[in-house]
A and B are shown apart, each in its own frame.
Chain A
Amino acid sequence: DTGVSQDPRHKITKRGQNVTFRCDPISEHNRLYWYRQTLGQGPEFLTYFQNEAQLEKSRLLSDRFSAERPKGSFSTLEIQRTEQGDSAMYLCASSLAPGAGNQETQYFGPGTRLLVL
């Protein structure tokens, strides 16, 4: 058990609907990442936070996607007006930012599997 939790684990929605996913990182971790993984591919970076600040978003990320981490703890990822191409596993990972003697290691949650009909 890595300690990162995600909710829900599965989501089925109709095209055009909005969905929101939640990630609870390991409590002492200050970085939080969102990835998307499709079948047969490695996880693809979407965005990441350090504390409550969103420091980078992938250029591939449509403006229908938005992520927040309001208090620097849990994070939400919202997809508006879902499309069939959004069907994927959405993974969250958390880590401690690298520092003196510390190399960053990302720990993944179980993911939320989204199916858009």
Chain B
Amino acid sequence: GQQVMQIPQYQHVQEGEDFTTYCNSSTTLSNIQWYKQRPGGHPVFLIQLVKSGEVKKQKRLTFQFGEAKKNSSLHITATQTTDVGTYFCAGQPRYSSASKIIFGSGTRLSIRP
């Protein structure tokens, strides 16, 4: 079946260090979305990427969508304690008739002050 894999599963960094999470799909995607879930919270939409090779920035966060539309990454520059949480990518398969999105298993980010 269609799968979206995310690595690493956990990342523990010193405050101020950079952080990157990678997302890979077994199938070509129409788009990819990124969500952040704080401990005890629910997923909160961050961004959606649609175009091949697209790069979008939100302050210290940089999102990329691969040329083949099968992978994506999220990079956080100079992490802060407010960045703590689990980051999920979620892809919409290109040739699926469904509107569903498939979530990766997430990367849990923790930060040493």
Task: Give A83-109 interface residues, CB cut-off 8 Å to B.
Answer: 91, 97, 103-109
* A58 neighbours in B (Cβ, 8 Å): 100
State whether A106 and B101 are in contact (beta carbons under 8 Å apart), knowing that A42-B88, A43-B43, A111-B42 are contacts in the complex: yes
Q: Is the CB of B105 within 8 A of A40?
A: yes
B85 within 8 Å of A (CB atoms): no
Residue of B nearest to A95 (CB): B99
Category for how many chain B residues contact A: 20 to 34
How many residues in A have their beta carbons less than 8 Å from beta carbons of B?
A: 25
Q: Complex Cα distance A76/B35, Å? A: 24
Q: Complex Cα distance A48/B35, Å? A: 19
Q: Is the CB of B42 within 8 A of A109?
A: yes
State whether A104 and B99 are in contact (beta carbons under 8 Å apart), knowing that A41-B106, A42-B90 are contacts in the complex: yes
Q: Is the CB of A42 within 8 A of B42?
A: no
B45's partner among A42, A91, A106 (CB-CB below 8 A) is A106
B27 within 8 Å of A (CB atoms): no
Q: Is the CB of B99 within 8 A of A103?
A: no
B40-68 vs A: 1/0 string, CB under 8 Å?
01111100101000000000000000000
A42's partner among B50, B98, B104 (CB-CB below 8 A) is B104
A33's partner among B4, B41, B100 (CB-CB below 8 A) is B100
A45's partner among B44, B102, B106 (CB-CB below 8 A) is B102
* A40 neighbours in B (Cβ, 8 Å): 105-106
* A110 neighbours in B (Cβ, 8 Å): 41-42
Q: Is the CB of B99 within 8 A of A108?
A: no
Q: Is the CB of A91 within 8 A of B42?
A: yes
Q: Is the CB of B42 within 8 A of A108?
A: yes
Residue of B nearest to A33 (CB): B100
Q: Report the minimum CB–CB distance from B13 to chain A (whole Å).
A: 19
Q: Complex Cα distance A110/B86, Å? A: 15
| Given pairs A105-B45, A108-B35, A111-B42, 7 additional interface contacts (CB within 8 A) | A40-B106, A42-B6, A103-B48, A103-B50, A106-B45, A106-B101, A110-B42
Query: Footprint of A on B, CB under 8 Å?
Result: 4, 6, 31, 33, 35, 41-45, 48, 50, 88, 90, 98-106
